[in-house]
C-alpha cells in the first residue's frame, strides 16, 4: 500500500529522488508523509555522497497539499487548535529544511500542485513543470490560510503576484506558472520533463560539491525568508482557521463538490 511508503526514496549514485507516494489522494500530505520527509532531511544533512535531490509525485500528480481528512478528524476545539498549529509549524520547518539542504534541489511537477504542494515547489532551488501541471493556493476557499507557503511564494514570484494568487485561489496552468516565474521551465509532457531534469542534473554535477553548498549558503545570507516570528504567527493563524466553523464548512463543501455557504 502507498500509505505504507508515503515517500519513496530512490538513489542513483549522487542523485536522490524523493517521490511523494499517495497517488490515490493526489499525494496529499499525511502525518506519515510528513514524518518520512523529516527523516529524509535529517539523513541528507549528513550525506556526503548525495549531491542532488529531485522531488516529484507518483501517479501523474505532484502534491495536492494537506490531507484535509486529517484536518476534519474529531477533536475538541482546544485540541484541534493545538494540533493544527503544531502540524503547520512542522510543515514550515520541513520547507525550510529542504531549502537549507547542501544538495541542489530540483522539483519536477506533473498534474496537481496545490496549497502545500506549492511549498515543496518553491523551496526547491530549481523548478520544472510538465504542460499538464496545474497550480493553486486555494486555502481561502476552504476557510484556511496559506500560512507556511506564503513566504516561499513571495520569494519565488514577488509579493504582488503572490498576493493575487493567494487571494483569488484559482487554478493556473503551466504556461501561466512559467510566465509569472513560479517554475523555471515547462516541458511538453512527462518524458520531456524527465529529460529536462536529467539535463539539469548533469549540469549541476559539473559543479564542485563544496562550491555548490557554499553558494547555497550565500543565497541564504542574502536575507531571511520572512521577518522574525512569522513562522510562529503563521502556525497560530492556521490553527485558528483550521479549528473554525469556516474551515468546517469549506472542507465539507470541497468534499461534496459544492460551493461553500459564503460563495453561494
The pTM (predicted TM-score) of the whole model is 0.95
pLDDT tens for each residue of 85-119? 999 999 999 999 999 999 999 999 999 999 999 99
Spell 21-35 as b/e; 16+ CB within 10 A means b: bbeebbbbbbeebbe
Q: Which three cell numbers stand for residue 213?
A: 553548498
Task: Check whether 258 has a pLDDT greater than 80.
Answer: yes
- What structural domains does the chain harbor? 2-189 (3.90.226.10)
Q: Which residues contact 245 (CB under 8 A, 6 or more apart)?
A: 143
pLDDT of residue 74: 66
Q: Lowest-confidence range among 37-41, 66-70, 113-117?
A: 66-70
Task: Check whether 73 has a pLDDT greater than 80.
Answer: no
pLDDT tens for each residue of 199-214? 999 999 999 999 999 9
Please give the mean pLDDT across all residues of the chain: 95
Q: Which residues contact 87 (CB under 8 A, 6 or more apart)?
A: 31, 34, 70
pLDDT of residue 153: 98
Cα–Cα distance, 103 to 96 (Å, whole number): 13
Percent of the chain with pLDDT over 70: 98
Based on C-alpha coordinates, what's the Rg of the chain? 18
Q: Any bridge partners for residue 54, and if so which? A: 17, 106
pLDDT tens for each residue of 212-231? 999 999 999 999 999 999 99
Cα–Cα distance, 145 to 180 (Å, whole number): 22
Cβ of 226: how many Cβ atoms within 10 Å? 18
Task: Check whether 1 has a pLDDT greater than 50.
Answer: no
pLDDT of residue 11: 97
Burial class of 57 by CB neighbour count within 10 A (0 to 12, 13 to 18, 19+): buried
CA distances from 8 to 2, 21, 145, 177 (A): 9, 6, 29, 27
Task: Check whether 24 has a pLDDT greater than 80.
Answer: yes
Cα–Cα distance, 78 to 37 (Å, whole number): 27
pLDDT of residue 3: 65
**Could you give the 3-state DSSP secondary structure of residue 10?**
strand
The answer to whether 106 and 127 are in contact (CB under 8 A) is yes
**Could you give the 3-state DSSP secondary structure of residue 172?**
strand
pLDDT of residue 2: 52
Residue 191 φ then ψ, to 5°: -65, -45
Amino acid at each position: 500500500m502507498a500509505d505504507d511508503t508515503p515517500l519513496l526514496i530512490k538513489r542513483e549514485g549522487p542523485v536522490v529522488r524523493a517521490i511523494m507516494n499517495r497517488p490515490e489522494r493526489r499525494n496529499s500530505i499525511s502525518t506519515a508523509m510528513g514524518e518520512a520527509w523529516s527523516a529524509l532531511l535529517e539523513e541528507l544533512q549528513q550525506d556526503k555522497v548525495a549531491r542532488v535531490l529531485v522531488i516529484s509525485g507518483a501517479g501523474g500528480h505532484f502534491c495536492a497539499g494537506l490531507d484535509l481528512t486529517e484536518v476534519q478528524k474529531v477533536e475538541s476545539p482546544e485540541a484541534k487548535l493545538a494540533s493544527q498549529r503544531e502540524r503547520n509549524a512542522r510543515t514550515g520547518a520541513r520547507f525550510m529544511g529542504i531549502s537549507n539542504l547542501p544538495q541542489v534541489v530540483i522539483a519536477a511537477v506533473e498534474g496537481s500542485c496545490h496549497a502545500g504542494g506549492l511549498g515543496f515547489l518553491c523551496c526547491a532551488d530549481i523548478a520544472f513543470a510538465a504542460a499538464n501541471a496545474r497550480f493553486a493556493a486555494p486555502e481561502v476557499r476552504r476557510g484556511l490560510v496559506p500560512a507556511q507557503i506564503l513566504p516561499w511564494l513571495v520569494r519565488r514570484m514577488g509579493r504582488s503576484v503572490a498576493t493575487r494568487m493567494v487571494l483569488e485561489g484559482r487554478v493556473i496552468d503551466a504556461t501561466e506558472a512559467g510566465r509569472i516565474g513560479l517554475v523555471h521551465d515547462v516541458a511538453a509532457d512527462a518524458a520531456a520533463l524527465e529529460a529536462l531534469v536529467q539535463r539539469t542534473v548533469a549540469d549541476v554535477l559539473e559543479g564542485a560539491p563544496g562550491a555548490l553548498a557554499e553558494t547555497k549558503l550565500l543565497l541564504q545570507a542574502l536575507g531571511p525568508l520572512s521577518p522574525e516570528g512569522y513562522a510562529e504567527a503563521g502556525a497560530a493563524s492556521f490553527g485558528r482557521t483550521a479549528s473554525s466553523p469556516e474551515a468546517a464548512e469549506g472542507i465539507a463543501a470541497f468534499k461534496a463538490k459544492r460551493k461553500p455557504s459564503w460563495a453561494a
